[in-house]
């Protein structure tokens, strides 16, 4: 009996334990199936549903008249997902039998595949033809993980005309990602394109837009079965530049093979109508990643096609700086326009002889004559009277020595030196000879072609005109940059403008031979020559070597600045021809560009001096043949 009771007690205990366990199991099952049903349903859904980003359409860039500078062109490409492909080498072998694969591009794709997540699609071949896409689609069962796609790729229909302005895009690099503390997911899409230089880089976030997303159902091996839904991204903002495509295209053709730069600025509102650097390059080559050989050709060219000379390079301004020196002297009250200085061809300062470009001297020079004939001694004398600090202050007010806020790469500040600057940067004291050199735009003074155009616009208007490159963003017009009054004495500015007019229109003016003959468009300007080498006393004694007899990179730079029309200024122009041998290389370019800008087309031959009309007609015919329009259309201005 006792034994029976013991067995029954054990049975009850075991039964109770089993019942309790079953109860707990039931409760757990209820919790999982009922209370947590939504969570486990979501987990199951995630096992078969992938979220994929949709790259946004990049904003387009237009010129001031609506011509397309940068657009998005449809592009066929072939992608591969590593985890879906299985044996990548085998699939690549099958694919190469159907489509010709570029070896460099393939190696780059395989390297991307190794460092990217296995589920990300990697571009194996970009910009392939429709026939290639068709062959891949037909053979899809034998190419696991391979997908033919249609996407958008950046295209620059104007070619090299806007390379230094608009810039270009390229695939995101590790260096690009390092600039962001928390990079957007879209930047991690292999071969996603972002702005590298120029407007494309400066307005990257606006142009990029926002990525969309799509949910796709995949099978057990990862192949996409169907698209469940999608959320379209937000396209980037469209930009309109102030630059005129027709004028920019003309300047590119007019410069030809010269290593030169031209800036054309509207003096009423600061709009940059043209900003061209020569030689240039085709930005389309950078979109997919330029080849080593193509890049080497650009890098090793001594005329530096990759440099944005208009804003990046700084040159001694030479005699184009003389307006700064004379305005500083007038403003300081140390000279009047009628006062004269005797020029014997040199000036002795501190035991050193500073020469005028005219060895025999100019004789008695006043303000107008000194600018008209570009006498150096007159400005040496002014510099001793006014001093470097006042000259530099005037230069800054005229827009030199500062980095103007435009969205181009590597915009230089140039250099307007002071005594403190030399002590700080060179570790030596300022000497009087430094001031003498600076008075004619030599020595330490450095300016960019953009700064020279700004200086000329401010002299023409008396206002703090500043350059503007962006006309509108997504249809919203950017503020005008006409500027406030600079506070200079208007009579002083009138004297300087009158002297600049004489430079181009008086028979003794240094730019008379390249004047504008049309009375309504007469221009006022100033020539400049800046030395790139020292001329020794021994060389002067035996005769200074002609630029024509020097190697190209040892010749003087040629400069010219101008505004027109003289009576009612509309545009300012600056031209710098590297190693052009002197200002005579720059003045005809400036005259031709000014007329093109003022007429909005090829000017009539009567706008030129009679002796030039035959040559100009031939030049216009040649340039009409050479000017390249986008998509094979005839080039014309709107």
- Which residues does the annotation mark as catalytic? 319
349: which DSSP letter? E
Using DSSP bridges, classify how beta strands 260-266 and 571-577 pair: parallel, antiparallel or unpaired. antiparallel
b/e 433-452 (16+ beta carbons within 10 angstroms → b): ebbbbbbbbbbbbbbbbbbb
Other beta carbons within 10 Å of 147: 18
In sequence order, what are the residues at sequence separation of 6 or more whose Cβ sits closer than 8 angstroms to the Cβ of residue 586?
260, 527, 528, 558, 559, 560, 575, 576, 577, 580
Check if the beta carbon of residue 638 is closer than 8 Å to that of residue 65: yes
Q: Where are the beta strands (DSSP E) in 356-424?
A: 363-365
What is the total residue count of the chain? 638
As a whole number of angstroms, the distance between CA 561 and CA 321 comes to: 10
Whether the Cβ atoms of residue 590 and residue 560 lie closer than 8 Å to each other: yes
Containing H/E element for 491? helix 490-505
Sign of the dihedral defined by the CA atoms of residues 190, 196, 200, 204, in that order: positive
d(CA 408, CA 195): 12
**What are the backbone dihedrals phi and psi of residue 130, each rounded to the nearest 5 degrees, phi first?**
-65, -35
Query: Which residues, at least 6 apart from 138, have a Cβ–Cβ distance to it below 8 Å?
Result: none
Backbone angles phi, psi at 194, to 5 degrees: -135, 165
CB 195 within 8 A of CB 59: no
284 closest CA partner among 69, 454, 479, 481: 69
- Say if CB 208 and CB 176 are below 8 A apart: no
Bridge-based pairing of strands 272-278 and 524-530 is unpaired
């Amino acid at each position: 009996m006792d034994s029976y009771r013991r067995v029954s007690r054990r049975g009850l205990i075991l039964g109770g334990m089993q019942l309790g366990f079953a109860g707990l199991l039931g409760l757990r099952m209820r919790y999982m199936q009922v209370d947590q049903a939504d969570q486990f349903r979501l987990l199951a859904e995630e096992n078969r549903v992938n979220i994929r980003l949709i790259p946004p359409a990049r904003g387009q860039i237009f010129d001031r008249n609506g011509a397309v500078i940068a657009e998005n062109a449809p592009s066929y490409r072939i992608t591969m997902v590593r985890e879906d492909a299985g044996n990548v080498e085998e699939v690549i072998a099958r694919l190469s039998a159907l489509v010709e694969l570029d070896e460099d591009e393939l190696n780059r794709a395989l390297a991307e595949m190794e460092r990217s997540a296995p589920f990300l699609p990697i571009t194996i071949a970009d910009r392939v033809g429709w026939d290639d896409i068709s062959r891949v689609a037909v053979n899809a069962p034998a190419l696991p993980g391979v997908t033919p796609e249609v996407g958008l790729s950046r295209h620059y229909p104007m070619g090299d005309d806007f390379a230094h302005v608009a810039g270009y895009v390229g695939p995101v690099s590790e260096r690009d990602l390092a600039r962001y503390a928390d990079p957007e997911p879209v930047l991690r899409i292999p071969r996603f394109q972002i702005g590298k230089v120029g407007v494309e880089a400066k307005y990257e976030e606006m142009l990029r837009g926002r990525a969309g997303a799509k949910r796709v159902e995949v099978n057990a091996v990862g192949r996409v079965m169907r698209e469940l839904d999608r959320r379209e991204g937000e396209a980037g903002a469209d930009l309109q530049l102030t630059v005129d495509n027709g004028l920019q295209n003309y300047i590119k053709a007019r410069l030809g093979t010269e290593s030169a730069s031209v800036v054309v600025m509207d003096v009423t509102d600061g709009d940059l109508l043209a900003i061209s650097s020569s030689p240039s390059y085709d930005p389309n080559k950078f979109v997919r990643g330029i080849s080593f050989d193509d890049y080497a050709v650009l890098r090793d060219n001594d005329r530096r096609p990759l440099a944005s000379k208009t804003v990046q390079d700084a040159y001694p301004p030479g005699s184009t700086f003389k307006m700064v020196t004379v305005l500083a002297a007038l403003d300081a009250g140390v000279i009047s326009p009628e006062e004269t200085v005797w020029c014997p061809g040199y000036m002795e300062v501190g035991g050193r002889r500073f020469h005028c470009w005219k060895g025999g001297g100019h004789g008695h020079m006043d303000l107008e004559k000194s600018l008209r004939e570009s006498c150096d001694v007159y400005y040496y004398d002014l510099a001793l009277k006014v001093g470097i600090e006042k000259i530099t202050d005037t230069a800054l007010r005229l827009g030199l020595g500062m980095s103007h806020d435009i969205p181009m790469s590597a915009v230089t500040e140039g250099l307007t030196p002071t005594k403190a600057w030399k002590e700080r940067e060179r570790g030596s004291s300022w000497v009087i000879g430094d001031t003498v050199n600076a008075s004619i735009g030599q020595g330490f003074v450095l300016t960019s072609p953009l700064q020279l155009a700004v200086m000329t616009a401010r002299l023409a208007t008396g206002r703090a005109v500043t350059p503007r490159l962006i006309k509108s963003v997504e249809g919203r017009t950017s503020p005008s940059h006409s500027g406030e009054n600079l506070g200079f004495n208007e009579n002083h500015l009138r004297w300087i403008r009158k002297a600049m007019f004489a430079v181009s229109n008086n028979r003794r003016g240094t730019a008379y031979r390249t004047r504008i003959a049309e009375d309504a468009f007469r221009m006022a300007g100033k020539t400049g020559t800046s030395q790139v080498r020292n001329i020794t006393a021994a060389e002067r004694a035996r005769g200074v070597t002609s630029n024509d007899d020097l190697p190209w990179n040892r010749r003087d730079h040629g400069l010219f600045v101008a505004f027109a029309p003289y009576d009612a200024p509309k545009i300012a122009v600056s031209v710098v021809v590297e190693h052009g041998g002197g200002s005579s290389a720059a003045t005809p370019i400036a005259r031709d560009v000014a007329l093109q800008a003022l007429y909005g087309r090829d000017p009539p031959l009567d706008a030129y001096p009679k002796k030039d009309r035959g040559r100009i007609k031939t030049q216009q015919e040649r340039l009409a043949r050479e000017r390249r329009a986008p998509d094979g259309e005839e080039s014309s201005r709107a």
